[in-house]
């Protein structure tokens, strides 16, 4: 359900201790499986700046889901050129291109639509990233397809590590936390609009990811999606979601060996079905939780 991603310290002592996102520590690897918890409540992402407190003590957690990383097949690489890593979770698949300096998105497949960014991959995170890293804006371009419409897409991805400090998450407290804000804004165009002159709609994803130096994956990730497609009578349709890293609260490891312990049902929103001009569908879907052997 992964996401999203995307820090002026007052003293040299603080600077040396700050969390830095690096390829060596944070880059996902094929074969990894990561457990997440569902978030109940509204996350507070309002804090900015250095040495701040991200107060999300009112949040609670229920349910879980697993995100798995694997190597794309030859057929998948042909469809999403340059892909070196595949992420699957909650019915969605994201394809990435890995390099020494960044992790880029080459494609996204949901039950309702496919976004192919082969024309210009979009940056997910650059390495290294820390609080003092300059805000990065990257261009992304490709195609989108769905049962309702198909066409071209073009936009920007802005990654801003704009806060650091202490995260209060439920009953737990985490220090030395780096918060990365990522804003993905895409204009949708008809297939014939190759000059990208007249957009027929926009999709904006705003995500916040909270990292610390002891966990490979974010402790907390939130995302808001706003869809505007006037010709389909969709205006400022907004959905929100959040997930917390299971191992931040449990004794089990965040990188799990597949050992089934329980199954459950949770509600999942199919956001991109909005392209059909209908309200979001709510679907009950069964997931399996895993722990480390």
Mean pLDDT over 4-16 rounds to 29
Counted domains in the chain: 1
At residue 210, φ and ψ (nearest 5 deg) are -110, 115
- Domain with 224, as residue range(s), is 12-291
Mean pLDDT over 205-222 rounds to 97
DSSP-derived 3-state class of residue 121: coil
- 143 pLDDT more than 80: yes
Residue 2 is assigned to a structural domain of this protein: no
- 91 pLDDT more than 70: yes
User: How far is Cα 22 from Cα 20, in angstroms, rounded to an integer?
Assistant: 6
Structure tokens at 166: 């202490």
Mean pLDDT over 130-156 rounds to 93
The predicted pLDDT at position 229 comes to 85
Output 18 or 252, whichever has higher pLDDT.
Answer: 18
User: How far is Cα 153 from Cα 229, in angstroms, rounded to an integer?
Assistant: 13
Name the pTM for this structure.
0.81
Residue 20 is assigned to a structural domain of this protein: yes
Output 106 or 281, whichever has higher pLDDT.
Answer: 106
Is residue 204 exposed (0-12), middle (13-18) or buried (19+ Cβ within 10 Å)?
Answer: middle
Residue 242 is assigned to a structural domain of this protein: yes
CA-atom Rg of the chain in angstroms: 19
Instruction: Name the helix (H) or strand (E) containing 78.
Output: helix 74-79
Q: How confident is residue 111, by pLDDT bands cut at 50, 70 and 90?
A: confident
The predicted pLDDT at position 17 comes to 57
Average per-residue pLDDT in the chain? 83
User: How far is Cα 45 from Cα 222, in angstroms, rounded to an integer?
Assistant: 9
Residue 6 is assigned to a structural domain of this protein: no
- 144 pLDDT more than 50: yes
Residue 122 is assigned to a structural domain of this protein: yes
Q: How confident is residue 16, by pLDDT bands cut at 50, 70 and 90?
A: very low
The predicted pLDDT at position 112 comes to 79
**Best CA proximity match to 25, nearest among 179, 215, 229, 249:** 215
Residue 177 is assigned to a structural domain of this protein: yes
Residue 118 is assigned to a structural domain of this protein: yes
In this structure, how many other beta carbons lie within 10 angstroms of the beta carbon of residue 46?
A: 9
At residue 18, φ and ψ (nearest 5 deg) are -70, 155
Output 110 or 178, whichever has higher pLDDT.
Answer: 178
Residue 1 is assigned to a structural domain of this protein: no
Contact call for residues 256 and 292 (beta carbons, < 8 A):
yes
């Amino acid at each position: 359900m992964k996401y999203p991603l995307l820090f002026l310290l007052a003293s040299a002592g603080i600077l040396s201790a700050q969390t830095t996102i690096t390829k060596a520590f944070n880059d996902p690897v094929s074969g990894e499986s990561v457990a997440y918890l569902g978030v109940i409540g509204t996350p507070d992402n309002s804090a900015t700046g250095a040495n701040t407190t991200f107060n999300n003590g009112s949040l609670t957690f229920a349910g879980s889901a697993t995100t798995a990383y694997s190597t794309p097949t030859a057929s998948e690489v042909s469809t999403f050129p340059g892909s070196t890593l595949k992420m699957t979770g909650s019915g969605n698949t994201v394809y990435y291109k890995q390099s020494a300096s960044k992790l880029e998105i080459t494609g996204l497949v949901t039950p309702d639509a496919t976004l192919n960014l082969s024309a210009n991959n979009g940056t997910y995170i650059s390495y290294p990233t820390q609080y003092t890293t300059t805000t990065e804006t990257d261009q992304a371009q490709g195609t989108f397809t769905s049962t309702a419409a198909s066409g071209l897409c073009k936009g920007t991805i802005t990654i801003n590590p704009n806060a650091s400090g202490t995260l209060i998450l439920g009953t737990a407290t985490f220090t030395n936390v780096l918060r990365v804000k990522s804003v993905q804004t895409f204009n949708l165009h008809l297939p014939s609009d190759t000059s990208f002159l007249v957009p027929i709609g926009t999709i904006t994803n705003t995500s916040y990811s909270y990292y610390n130096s002891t966990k490979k994956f974010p402790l907390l990730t939130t995302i808001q999606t706003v869809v505007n497609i006037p010709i389909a009578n969709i205006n400022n349709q907004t959905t929100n979601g959040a997930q917390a890293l299971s191992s931040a609260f449990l004794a089990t490891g965040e990188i799990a060996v597949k050992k089934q312990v329980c199954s459950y049902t949770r509600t999942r929103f199919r956001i991109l079905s909005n392209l059909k001009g209908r309200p979001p569908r709510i679907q009950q879907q069964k997931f399996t939780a895993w722990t480390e052997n």
